Structure 1
Amino acid sequence: FCTLLALLTRRVTMKFTRVAMRPLVSSPKRILFFGGDEVSLATLKRVVERSQRVGGDVVVVHPPAPPVAVGKKAAKPSSGDLPCGAPPTVCGTNPVGDFCREHGLRAFEVDHPKSMAKSSVCGDVLSAAASFDATVVCSCRYFIPDSLLREAPPAINMHPSLLPKYRGASPIIETLRRGDTEGGVSVIKLEPGLLMDCGDVLEQRTLAIDPWCDLREYFPRATEAGAA
């Protein structure tokens, strides 16, 4: 996934069209990252690693931790309706937010439950967006506002399915629930005015799925393939 940041510096042959992207430095140093769950975390770790090699900086926009009922501890979600096990996420946790705090990354926490555009941090992110070299989106709970995409540098999004299949939430679970024998990840270009998980396909990687493959096996394969 991180190697595709270099694609932002030149013309790229898409699946159906040829698109001229805005010029960028060959090794993006300032990266604006949007994400919040375990899928995001795998990509964020790789982005931070690559950025630090060139003396770069990563700023993160992430949702708050899901609420936990008063008097109850965070618990693993039920796996009763999932294909052979639950993903390694825990209700009431914020893996990306925790990672930012542990590693001293500057982060904006979206404070609106449903809309980034209505969040108080949207203006702060918008005012700083043009100062970045690249925008990376991965499993972000929110729709990125068009106003932000217009001001931000070229944006790419990693989605853990072979788009256009399984747009939206839970693509990894849907891939297994439907019994697919082939899954994968997609990296697309984000632009204003498009629907969720729509855009020119920059790259897709396929992953074979054995009949006995469960979520505990496929989840890390898909997230690591997307981050690579």
Structure 2
Amino acid sequence: MSRPLRVVFAGTPVFAADSLKALLASQHDVIAVYTQPDRPAGRGRKLTPSPVKALAQQHGIKVFQPESLKNAEAQQTLASLGADVMVVVAYGLLLPQAVLDTPRLGCINVHASLLPRWRGAAPIQRAIEAGDSETGITIMQMDAGLDTGDMLLTRRLPIDTATIGGALHDQLAHLGGKAIVEALDALASGELSATPQPSEGVTYAAKLSKAEAELDFNRPASELAARIRAFNPWPVAWTLLDGQPLRLWLAESEPATGSATLPGTLLEPAGDALRIACGPDGTQVLRITQAQLPGGKPLTARDLLNSRAERFAPGTCLGHSRQEDTA
């Protein structure tokens, strides 16, 4: 490798902190960090630094927290740093063209999908929700579009029917850190080439919302199980039990029963799972292996059945259908 690169790092959440940690352990020189302004957090709503800021401060790195990078003053400050490259990981601010053009080698992004699939805000969860068999990290040269820049490096990771959102997030964060160091090493030595993204296979990973986490038991069991795993640990899939939210943490599908039942009806439980009729005609079965009652903590289905069996009696209807039937 030729001389180490002077890096400005821009990122905010835990996912980004993994990449910053990897860069700090590399031969490259992180000269400054950009992150979102401190936000209120916790019950006391105390202003709290982002994980990226906390890590930067531990290492004595200068931190900038502008509300925007669109104004001339913020852009001049960035230019004065004399960076070779800006590494961007889940920063949360739009980078105008003037910023993209400021570092000598431009801005490089760590994106948690195999582009062009799952451009956008929630690629990790959408890949699980869609039933994808693999995902990965794409190191991308940033342009003015939404995750449309040329690809510099990709690394793959399998997804199976036991993969949950939180675990995949952590795996990809670690993989992203390794990949960005590898990419910068190659960039510094002139061995990194760019490949335009294919025009086919583009999908968009819309931002997650709590509203979409409510389950519709008319949907197929495999689709619901994937959504439950994708939305663990946030926003957490849920339904109504006796008019109160029941949060669903872990699930899988099982073969169809062949007998039609009202979708959302609790069936005879297995020893380690709550069983819910689902699908358009209620012949499919969703197995819930971990759930959470209001005011409680997540418990295995076995523990819930041992302590609250009466609440999960076969024939009980989950969701709004229960309220409609008793209205």
Distance 2:108 2:70 in 1: 19
Distance 2:141 2:108 in 1: 5
Task: Say yes or no: does 1:197 pair with 2:147.
Answer: yes
| Alignment map for 1:51-130 (pairs within 5 Å) | 51=27, 56-68=29-41, 72=44, 94-110=50-66, 112=67, 115-118=68-71, 121-128=74-81
Secondary structure of the 1:121 match is: helix
Shift of 1:216: 2.7
Task: Say yes or no: does 1:147 pair with 2:98.
Answer: yes
Shift of 1:218: 1.0
Deviations 1:183-220 (A, max 9, x none): 111011124xx202111111111111110111232111
Distance 2:111 2:177 in 1: 10
Indicate conservation of the 8 Å contact 2:10/2:33, yes or no. yes
Distance 1:138 1:122 in 2: 19
In structure 2, the CA distance between the partners of 1:92 and 1:180, relative to structure 1 (3 Å rule), is: farther
Aligned to 1:88: none
* Match of residue 224, structure 1, among 167, 171, 174: 174
* Match of residue 215, structure 1, among 137, 159, 165: 165
Shift of 1:169: 1.2
Shift of 1:73: 5.1
Aligned to 2:295: none
Deviations 1:35-86 (A, max 9, x none): 111111111111111136xxx34311111233348x6358xxxxxxxxxxxx
Distance 1:217 1:119 in 2: 40
In structure 2, the CA distance between the partners of 1:144 and 1:213, relative to structure 1 (3 Å rule), is: same
Distance 1:48 1:217 in 2: 24
Aligned to 1:18: none
Distance 1:158 1:226 in 2: 6
Secondary structure of the 1:27 match is: coil
Query: Who wins on radius of gyration, i.e. which is larger?
Result: 2
TM-score normalised by the chain length of structure 2: 0.50
Indicate conservation of the 8 Å contact 1:135/1:153, yes or no. no
Q: Match of 2:125, as an amino acid?
A: I
Distance 1:67 1:142 in 2: 18
Secondary structure of the 1:67 match is: strand
Distance 1:203 1:94 in 2: 27
TM-score normalised by the chain length of structure 1: 0.69
Aligned-CA RMSD value? 2.4
Aligned to 2:219: none
Q: Match of 1:125, as an amino acid?
A: L
In structure 2, the CA distance between the partners of 1:118 and 1:166, relative to structure 1 (3 Å rule), is: farther
Shift of 1:93: 5.1
Q: 5+ unaligned residues in a row in structure 1: which ranges?
A: 1-5, 7-25, 75-90
Q: Match of 2:60, as an amino acid?
A: G
* Match of residue 136, structure 1, among 87, 90, 95: 87
Distance 1:213 1:177 in 2: 10
Shift of 1:126: 3.0
- The structure with the greater share of residues assigned to strand is 2
Aligned to 2:139: 187
Secondary structure of the 1:216 match is: helix
Work out which structure has the larger RCO, using CA pairs closer than 8 Å and 6 or more positions apart in sequence.
1
Secondary structure of the 1:141 match is: coil
Give the 4+ runs in structure 1 shifted more than 6 A.
Answer: none
Secondary structure of the 1:218 match is: helix
Indicate conservation of the 8 Å contact 1:28/1:133, yes or no. no
In structure 2, the CA distance between the partners of 1:57 and 1:222, relative to structure 1 (3 Å rule), is: closer
Shift of 1:123: 3.1
Task: Say yes or no: does 1:41 pair with 2:17.
Answer: yes
Q: Match of 1:116, as an amino acid?
A: L
